[in-house]
């Protein structure tokens, strides 16, 4: 998980209005979000697939068909 050193922009009453992140922190967050999206997509694909095929079996079949 990304280590964040958050800095806040506040209004004249001291209320937080925005967050400042370094480019490195931002990039780490984006990368982690993309990883999580991939995980969710994979879980959804596994749940919705009615016929899951092993990669080795599929590869053998395609090799036999010269694909």
Condensed to tens digits (0 to 9), the pLDDT of residues 16-65 reads: 999 999 999 999 999 999 999 999 998 888 788 767 778 898 889 888 88
d(CA 18, CA 8): 6
For residue 18, the surrounding DSSP H or E stretch is strand 16-20
Contact (CB, 8 A) for 2 and 25: yes
3-state secondary structure of 5: coil
Can you spell out the DSSP letters for 36-59?
Answer: HHHHHHHHHHHHH-SS---HHHHH
Does residue 10 register a pLDDT over 90?
yes
């Amino acid at each position: 998980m990304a280590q964040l050193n958050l800095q806040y922009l506040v209004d004249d009453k001291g209320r937080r209005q925005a967050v400042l992140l370094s480019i490195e922190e931002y990039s780490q967050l984006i990368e982690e979000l993309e990883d999580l999206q991939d995980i969710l997509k994979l879980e959804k694909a596994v749940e919705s697939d009615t016929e899951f095929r092993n990669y080795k079996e599929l590869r053998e079949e395609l090799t036999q068909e010269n694909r």
